[in-house]
Structure formats: C-alpha cells, structure tokens
Amino acid sequence: MNQRTIAKKIELIGIGLHKGVPVKMILEPLPSDSGIIFYRSDKGVSIPLTIENVVDTTMATVIGKNGVKISTIEHLLSSIHAYGIDNIRIILDNEEVPIMDGSSMGFCILLEEAGIQELDKPKKAIEIKEIVEVRENDKFVRLEPNNVVTFDFMIKFPHQAIREQRYVFQFSTQNYKDEIAKARTFGFLQEVNQLRAMGLGLGGSFDNCIVLDESGVLNKGGLRYKDEFVRHKILDAIGDMSLLGMPIIGGYISFAGSHKLNHFLTKKLLSSAHAYNIVELQSKVQSSQKVAVHSRVSIKH
C-alpha cells in the first residue's frame, strides 16, 4: 500500500472558532515522504506537523514555530487521516483552521472534491506492541496492541443531555463518514463569557457548535446522533493521534481524554522504543468495513 496525497489543489474561506476572523485555506498535493506541512502565508512561515511543534492544548491542538501559531487543527487532521492522506500542504492566511460546521464532514467533502492520488513509496504505520498509557486523576488515554484499528472512548458529564456515553469505533474511511465525521464540537452557555474573556470562542455560534444550557441542547435541529458528544471526542482523538506522523495499528482507549492527554500520549509512545514497531504496509483488505492490515514488514524498532 503506497502513500497518498490529494490529486489537485483546492481552497475555501471560513471562520475560525476561537478568533472569529475569516481565514482562507488552500490544500495542495505534496510528493512522497513530505508529510503534512502547514504554511502561514501571511507570515511566510512553514510549520511541519510534528509533536515537537505542539505549543498549546488548552482548548484545541495548536502548533507553532518562531512565534507563529496555527490553532484548531484537529478536525481537519482527523479527516485527512480518515482518507489515508500522508502528504499535504495546508496554507492559511490567519492563525486558525476554519471551523466549518463544528464537525469534519465539510473537510471530508473538500478532500473528495480534490481527489486522492496514490504516490510511489510505501505507506508506513506505527504498530503498537505494548500498552502505553497516560493518566490524570481518573482520566486516561491508552494505546494497546490490536490487529484492528479501534477507538474506544467514554465520557461522563453531570449534564442531563450527556451523562455517561461510550462509543467503540472500528476504523475505516466509510465508517468514519457514517459514524464520526458529522459529530460537532460542543460547549456550555455558562462558559461563553469565560471563554471570550480568554479571547476564545469568538467565532462560535449555533451554526458550528452544539450549545447546551442547564436544561438541554439549544440548537434548533437537536443532535445528529444521540451520542454525538462522545463521537466528537473520537473525531478529536483521531486528529490528535495523527501528530504521530503515520497511522497506528492498534487500539486507542480513553476515559475523559483531552487534547492535552492525547499530546502526552503521543510523546510517551515515541519515547518508548520497545512499545512499537514502524512497519511498511504492503497490502490491505480493500473493504470499507474491514481494516485488518496484512503482509506487514517491520523496518524499524
């Protein structure tokens, strides 16, 4: 199985969730072994997508270099990962990726319009060999060996519209589009003033966020899934795990995980050489419902 990029350049204009300003985004193809590279056209600064370039995880995953930042990258990265894209250039003229409708479905549509191009070099993946875990009180995120790529997430909120939710997602592109991509980010009305005092959430609205007050969901259309909240957490986790630079072969498990814990998990994995192998993917079951990887060849421990 070879690396992928997009087939043609494509662009859009949207609004940033936290800064609330318009931003133009252009996606461009890149050759094999280029990776994912962000570029701030207004600053003339390229920021490769690496764990070392993560500068903040407070309300979103933020990367930066030489004082230049790009925020709220996780939804776009989640969709890029879902389509198996390894190499792409993301050009922005401001510091935040457009929020779209608060989910990643708009990015999926954009990528399908651009098309997927297979390249000339083998695709690599991180095969999890031992459990790696990060905890913060009762919250945790974990990677463990599994021949099937899964994301098992549980959340627990006192709010009556959420309570306890768990979802187990078996990864494939079609499953992602059906089960995960439409799940929107969410927030609580009482936190709006606090966020805006921090300079965050300025672009948030009912058009790009599930908003809850004390009694329930305020959005006129209600929820897209009954457990949309936990599904969005999986969407975020897929995006955050893409900071590893290649897909994982294994299982991701979390209770109340966050961008911060996901970042610590990726750092801990890469510092634990005994816990993973890097493998080349030579062939793959071609089915939207199957994600088992076959004929793996280990090339590095």
**Rounded (10°) angle between helices 228-241 and 74-82:** 80
* Spatial contact of 105 and 176, defined as CB atoms under 8 Å apart: no
Q: Cα separation of 269 and 249, whole Å?
A: 13
Element (H, E) at 29: strand 22-29
Residue 259 designated active-site: yes
Q: What is the DSSP letter of 183?
A: P
Element (H, E) at 112: helix 105-114
Q: Which two tokens stand for residue 2?
A: 């070879």
Helix (H, G, I), strand (E, B) or coil at 221: coil
Q: Which two tokens stand for residue 45?
A: 């600064």
Q: Is 47 exposed, middle or buried (0-12, 13-18, 19+ CB in 10 A)?
A: buried
Q: Cα separation of 231 and 104, whole Å?
A: 12
Helix (H, G, I), strand (E, B) or coil at 133: strand
Give the count of beta carbons closer than 10 Å to the beta carbon of residue 248. Answer: 23
Among the listed residues 18, 259, 294, 301, the single catalytic one is 259
Instruction: Compute CA 253 distance to the chain's CA centroid, rounded to the nearest angstrom.
Output: 15
Q: Which two tokens stand for residue 33?
A: 């072994």
Instruction: Compute CA 106 distance to the chain's CA centroid, rounded to the nearest angstrom.
Output: 14
* Spatial contact of 78 and 235, defined as CB atoms under 8 Å apart: yes
Q: What residues are labeled active site?
A: 259
